[in-house]
A and B are shown apart, each in its own frame.
Chain A
């Protein structure tokens, strides 16, 4: 077994035993990336030299017997949505193509403090808006299991790099399913923690009340390790939760006793692919075989999840993305061209005797805003800004945003009621396995429905994890989603690990030449 095929937990064992150096490990990943990433396109940038330098520093410290962090020497990939000081943080957008963050996000700072090796930045849908990574302004990412298919999204690069053995640990972010859905479609383990468990400071905001960073890995054990490193209260984030972080990596191996798993009646309805349904039902049987009880629960408001999400997320996005105006940083349109254009328009109008129209032309400032934003944003980002701006406008606010907030509370109540009866909820993560590149790009509504089973966790603020639970006849991975009560990450990880000790779906690898 090649080094890059091992789990982070295994690699840490080798590193600590002196059987491998971080430099060797980093080199192995760099080679693997050079070999397969031209096909997969998971990374936007790989910093081989920087990573090797970090690796050598850690190796030297390890040799001197210095105390080291929990991820000492293990390479980690980071989604290009999290700021790292002095480094490009593009959000896969033309708008921030040349933007270098002046500060570290808390997640990146915690990775550095844990002595992880920062390997590179992964591709994503622009500003995390999308479910296929096709909305990246820079490149396509392909599903390692079938290069004609998408890896899902928005953390498509983050999922694909793990599936293709280009990293063992990867940081994703999840606003409506952006960790869990690509994890399911790429056959890896991905967790969206409870809202507030991981600091959002430095995570470039898409929808502030829904965004949450989380771990992506091959196994629940590795996800536990990474989550333990990035979790915790942050004085820079007023919404972060001030509750101690359990030792997820220690606890993960302990099976849960007397577990009751809930099945949501509404999850097994029209729209669910037959192969996904049977894989999920099989997975539930595995839990029963491990001693769990199964109980059906109802989410009466589940059907409104996607609708509510596509009001709240665009509303917040329209506000969060207002700062990209071409004035302070990021893309600014060519000003000389802009002035010339305005002059020409004015002359033309005056020549045609249209004095009023000439007077009501944009000021140069307004035109600067318009052109910089028109050039900097892709069409899906524009669509969501327009949706959100509309829904927050006076006269529409109550009917859309306020109503969405009310339904959001009802969805949370569905969860609260369910968790009075069951410990965890199990169900499909996606309606179907990975879809083809280009298949849904002209049908935004179909694309939005890929979030059907995942958005509710974000709306309710609870945690969820996707783990591999089978394959379709075409050989595409299928994901089982487990969801838990607020701050039940420990339980979710232990339940996921129980399943992974009884099955081997998570150990399967795509055949990349």
Chain B
């Protein structure tokens, strides 16, 4: 893509399926744990045996309510279950229990922004969020004409929340920002682990273009993109699809609503970096939805909805604002910290409160703590230096007890030995050098380096760096900035 403004607007809407973190499935008692041997987490109910009946998992419904409340959705006081009917081997009942015309929540929004300011903050409107059961997995082995398929029903019946947006997104960057913010919200609430590799978060994107032409605005046919396995893939797929649709439009002039033009489904090929046509929907499939007579409608009182909204606590967007207002962080810094999750946020605020400065704490957390966590594959929970200990170290750095570079050595020692900042500093022999001793040292250095003095006098201020290096050798505790200052003062007084 070039930086030249495109001659069109990309219009994107997302359907996101999120697996809820319940211990058991939506309508039976089977475990939802990922990775078990095929068909070991099944029972007569989720494998659709004759005579079996579904019973709703209350926990899944509670998690759904929390999510809907956090997405600013209206919550229905009456909701029901519908059967969506189609045949596929990984759908053992021949229908999926879902919600059709009365989803439990609707009309919400999620605010997105870009900390680097690539786009204006905006509210992405949510059409609806509904609860449904997941299907199983089909594995097709189609080599040498001996088509063979295997079905794993472990996933069948796992609770899924489907969140559908209005076509409010206008760029790959906005699309990625929405998904990042959604994932942050869901993991913050603990309703899903949003692991795309394990399929706990799956995204389909509906994309088309609005093109300005001399005769007015035209829209290209809508394409649904599937098979995107990472946020990066979504970003790339949307960008690719925009360019593809534009060149197809230039070639054919086909518009949305033209006779013979239908909604198309395309799959993202992550190695070739292209979307490939899967099928044209000549007419929308007839799923013959009807209310599931095996389940009773769910009613929720206004008091229950109020209690859910009350229980949400501070959400990521509010935490970002708090970090910016109370700790003086930039939107970029608050975004990095909040994206690390609840424990990291608490770690930050604890360290910052003791250090007495949010900016310093934020810098150290990003440059030192996150770096080491990445290198050593640690989580903040397993990072050995307690927040209070780091805060204490940072307080000493700010007070000049130890300079930044030696401070890093102290942190390293605290990491290795679990010592406090004071213990580590003592072990490293760090102590404040008395001002008169420092002055004596500097006078000695100036006297010993006549060439440097000449250079400095000639205006080559950087030559003074030599004093710092030599001072460190003579006394590692000498504060480099102070040494430089004192040496320059002495030279200035020389005739």
Which residues of chain A have a CB within 8 Å of any CB of chain B? 82-83, 89, 91, 96, 99, 101-103, 105, 200-205, 207-209, 235-239, 315-316, 318-319, 322-325, 327-329, 364-365, 369, 389, 392-394, 397, 401
- B290, A101: Cβ atoms under 8 Å? no
- A328, B48: Cβ atoms under 8 Å? yes
User: Which of B44, B83, B89 lies in contact with A327, CB distance below 8 A?
Assistant: B89
A-B contact pairs, 28 of them (CB 8 A): A82-B51, A83-B50, A91-B50, A96-B50, A101-B44, A103-B52, A201-B51, A204-B51, A237-B53, A237-B55, A238-B54, A238-B55, A239-B293, A318-B288, A319-B83, A319-B94, A322-B85, A323-B93, A324-B50, A327-B89, A327-B151, A328-B48, A328-B92, A329-B49, A364-B147, A392-B290, A393-B286, A393-B288
Interface bits B272-304 vs A (CB < 8 Å: 1, else 0): 000000000000001010100111100000000
- B55, A236: Cβ atoms under 8 Å? yes
- B51, A389: Cβ atoms under 8 Å? no
- Measured CA separation A202–B51 after assembly (Å): 4
- The 10 residue pairs across chains A and B that have the minimum distance between CB atoms: A322-B94, A209-B293, A208-B293, A392-B288, A204-B50, A202-B51, A204-B51, A323-B48, A83-B51, A103-B44
Interface bits B55-92 vs A (CB < 8 Å: 1, else 0): 11000000000000000000000000001010101001
User: Which of B50, B87, B290 lies in contact with A99, CB distance below 8 A?
Assistant: B50
B149 to A: closest C-beta gap in Å: 8
- B56, A238: Cβ atoms under 8 Å? yes
- B89, A365: Cβ atoms under 8 Å? yes
Chain B residue numbers with a CB within 8 Å of A205 are 50-51, 294
- A238, B47: Cβ atoms under 8 Å? no
CB-CB nearest in chain B for A95: B50
- B49, A102: Cβ atoms under 8 Å? yes
User: Which of A99, A105, A209, A323 lies in contact with B92, CB distance below 8 A?
Assistant: A323
Is B249 part of the contact surface with A, judged by Cβ < 8 Å?
no
- Measured CA separation A237–B54 after assembly (Å): 7
Apart from A204-B50, A322-B93, A328-B48: 9 A-B pairs, beta carbons within 8 A = A83-B49, A91-B50, A102-B44, A237-B55, A239-B293, A239-B294, A319-B290, A389-B288, A392-B288
CB-CB nearest in chain B for A93: B50
CB-CB nearest in chain A for B28: A236
- A201, B53: Cβ atoms under 8 Å? yes
A-B contact number at CB 8 A: 97
B242 to A: closest C-beta gap in Å: 32
User: Which of A99, A316, A389 lies in contact with B293, CB distance below 8 A?
Assistant: A316
- Measured CA separation A201–B8 after assembly (Å): 57
Chain A residue numbers with a CB within 8 Å of B53 are 200-201, 236-239
- A238, B51: Cβ atoms under 8 Å? no
Chain A residue numbers with a CB within 8 Å of B89 are 325, 327, 365
| A208-B294, A316-B293, A319-B85 given; A89·B95 CB < 8 A | no
- Measured CA separation A393–B85 after assembly (Å): 11
- B50, A325: Cβ atoms under 8 Å? no
Residue of B50, B286, B293 with highest tally of chain A CB at under 10 A: B50
- Measured CA separation A490–B89 after assembly (Å): 46
- B87, A369: Cβ atoms under 8 Å? yes
CB-CB nearest in chain B for A315: B290
Chain B residue numbers with a CB within 8 Å of A328 are 47-48, 92
User: Which of A101, A207, A208, A319 lies in contact with B50, CB distance below 8 A?
Assistant: A101
- Measured CA separation A325–B91 after assembly (Å): 10
Chain A residue numbers with a CB within 8 Å of B49 are 83, 101-103, 329
B295 to A: closest C-beta gap in Å: 5
Which residues of chain B have a CB within 8 Å of any CB of chain A? 44, 47-56, 83, 85, 87, 89, 92-95, 147, 151, 286, 288, 290, 293-296
- Measured CA separation A203–B49 after assembly (Å): 11
- A323, B50: Cβ atoms under 8 Å? yes
- B51, A101: Cβ atoms under 8 Å? yes
CB-CB nearest in chain A for B283: A394
- Measured CA separation A328–B156 after assembly (Å): 13
- A401, B93: Cβ atoms under 8 Å? no
- Measured CA separation A365–B293 after assembly (Å): 29
Chain B residue numbers with a CB within 8 Å of A324 are 50
- Measured CA separation A200–B54 after assembly (Å): 11
Residue of B44, B52, B92 with highest tally of chain A CB at under 10 A: B52
CB-CB nearest in chain B for A373: B87
B416 to A: closest C-beta gap in Å: 55
CB-CB nearest in chain A for B153: A328
Chain A residue numbers with a CB within 8 Å of B87 are 322, 325, 369
CB-CB nearest in chain A for B86: A322
A443 to B: closest C-beta gap in Å: 29
Residue of B51, B85, B147, B290 with highest tally of chain A CB at under 10 A: B51
Chain A residue numbers with a CB within 8 Å of B51 are 82-83, 89, 101, 105, 200-205
Chain A residue numbers with a CB within 8 Å of B92 are 323, 327-328
B84 to A: closest C-beta gap in Å: 10
CB-CB nearest in chain B for A127: B50
Chain A residue numbers with a CB within 8 Å of B44 are 101-103
- B296, A238: Cβ atoms under 8 Å? yes
B211 to A: closest C-beta gap in Å: 32
- Measured CA separation A102–B45 after assembly (Å): 11
A364 to B: closest C-beta gap in Å: 7
- Measured CA separation A235–B295 after assembly (Å): 12
Chain A residue numbers with a CB within 8 Å of B48 are 323, 328
CB-CB nearest in chain A for B285: A394
Chain B residue numbers with a CB within 8 Å of A207 are 293
A403 to B: closest C-beta gap in Å: 13
- Measured CA separation A322–B56 after assembly (Å): 21
- Measured CA separation A322–B97 after assembly (Å): 13
- Measured CA separation A329–B151 after assembly (Å): 13
B373 to A: closest C-beta gap in Å: 46
A347 to B: closest C-beta gap in Å: 15
- Measured CA separation A298–B75 after assembly (Å): 42
CB-CB nearest in chain A for B147: A364
A322 to B: closest C-beta gap in Å: 3
Chain B residue numbers with a CB within 8 Å of A238 are 53-56, 294-296
- B94, A323: Cβ atoms under 8 Å? yes
B69 to A: closest C-beta gap in Å: 25
Residue of B47, B87, B290 with highest tally of chain A CB at under 10 A: B290
| A102-B44, A209-B293, A319-B85 given; A89·B55 CB < 8 A | no
Chain A residue numbers with a CB within 8 Å of B94 are 319, 322-323, 325
- Measured CA separation A105–B54 after assembly (Å): 14
- Measured CA separation A202–B50 after assembly (Å): 7
- B95, A322: Cβ atoms under 8 Å? yes
- A201, B296: Cβ atoms under 8 Å? no
- Measured CA separation A176–B83 after assembly (Å): 23
A79 to B: closest C-beta gap in Å: 12
CB-CB nearest in chain A for B90: A327
Chain A residue numbers with a CB within 8 Å of B293 are 207-209, 239, 316
- Measured CA separation A239–B294 after assembly (Å): 7
